[in-house]
Amino acid sequence: MLQQTQVKTVIPYFNNFIKKVASLNALSKKNEKEILKLWEGLGYYRRAKNLHKTSKIIIKKYSGKIPDNFEKLKELPGIGNYTANILLALIYNQPRIGVDGNVKRVLSRLFEFDNSNTLNLFKTKRNGDLAEALMEFGALICKPIDPECDKCKINKMCLYYKSEIKTKFKKKIKIKIRSYDIFCYLKKNTKKITLTKSNNLSFLKKFNLPKIKETTKKKKGWKFLCKYKNSISNKKLNINLYYKFSLKTPSKYNWYYLKKNNEFIPTFTKKIFKQVLHLY
Ligand code: SF4
């Protein structure tokens, strides 16, 4: 949940999630729709899908025991080098660290290089605690801008502290700006909209959306409703919303209520619902 998402945002989702899904076994028995519903609003839904798939594999293939082997962990959906290392350190106390942005910065400042061999420099029996402490240390003390070097307990061994030139570490995120036209088929009396999972969007592939296309000049037969902006991960989207009332169901589309739905609806689509409701 914390991938690309702030702790403050995650806490209520996490608490609700573990209340409803108390174990790996319980997770494996849920259907995907239920899991996506619990994740609704957090974004990056592939994380939820992978977590769910992984729980099923662990229960079936590994009798419910998370593998203690790096290669086997990496075969699981959604688990890359970072997650595999962190799981092995935290669960099995193996001498590994997960090198995320925070840890990379700490290691670069301390030793002027950044790879996990640095682990040899911290001899400990508490490998899990070390892996966790490095992440927390990077987030709270050795921060990207204005690290708290005077309070830092290890400043005597820090090359950055000793050096004259203080390199700044800033996460460089490339922002992409895109413009999309969204076309909504609506039912007049029942407040319904057609959605489809067949779309070519890379960032919301296979999720329920109205017809969506990169902006072109062709809009014949559609009425303009409004313009608004939406951000998804590193993308800033300029949206132009169009609509028409219709009774026909276009192929590959289904009707959904604009107000209440048991189905999972991504936040991106809910924002469209909000705009469309002004028409009623
Ligand atoms: S002295 Fe400063 S830069 Fe070095 S590890 Fe501590 S907080 Fe980070």
SS3 sequence of 43-60: CCCHHHHHHHHHHHHHHH
CA-nearest residue, atom 2 of ligand 1: 149
What is the bridge-based pairing of β-strands 211-214 and 176-187? Answer: antiparallel
Q: Is 152 in the pocket of ligand 1 (CB under 6 A)?
A: yes
CA of 118 to the centre of ligand 1 (A): 16
Write out the two tokens for 91. 């669960």
88-134: pLDDT as tens digits: 999 999 999 888 888 889 988 888 765 545 666 678 899 999 999 99
CA of 111 to the centre of ligand 1 (A): 10
Q: What per-residue confidence (pLDDT) applies to 162?
A: 86
- What is the residue-level pLDDT of the chain in tens, covering all 280 positions? 988 788 889 999 999 999 999 999 999 999 999 999 999 888 888 899 999 999 999 999 999 999 999 999 999 999 999 999 999 999 999 999 888 888 889 988 888 765 545 666 678 899 999 999 998 999 899 998 889 999 999 999 898 888 865 555 555 667 889 999 999 999 988 889 999 988 877 777 778 899 998 888 878 889 999 999 988 877 899 999 999 998 888 888 999 998 877 778 888 999 999 999 888 8
Distance CA 280, CA 278 (A): 6
Name the pTM for this structure: 0.66
Q: Is 160 in the pocket of ligand 1 (CB under 6 A)?
A: yes
3-state secondary structure 223-238: EEEEEEEEEECCEEEE
Which of 164, 162, 158, 165 lies closest to 138, judged by CA?
A: 158
CA of 27 to the centre of ligand 1 (A): 40
**Angle at which helices 127-140 and 101-111 cross, to 10°:** 90
Own/partner long-range contacts of 98-102 (Cβ < 8 Å, ≥24 apart): 98/131, 98/135, 100/135, 100/138, 101/138, 101/171, 102/134, 102/135, 102/137, 102/138, 102/139, 102/142
Q: What per-residue confidence (pLDDT) applies to 4?
A: 77
Write out the two tokens for 117. 């061999």
Q: Is 161 in the pocket of ligand 1 (CB under 6 A)?
A: yes
Q: What per-residue confidence (pLDDT) applies to 6?
A: 84
Q: Is 133 in the pocket of ligand 1 (CB under 6 A)?
A: no
Q: What per-residue confidence (pLDDT) applies to 129?
A: 94
Q: What per-residue confidence (pLDDT) applies to 207?
A: 85
Q: Is 142 in the pocket of ligand 1 (CB under 6 A)?
A: yes
Q: Is 148 in the pocket of ligand 1 (CB under 6 A)?
A: yes
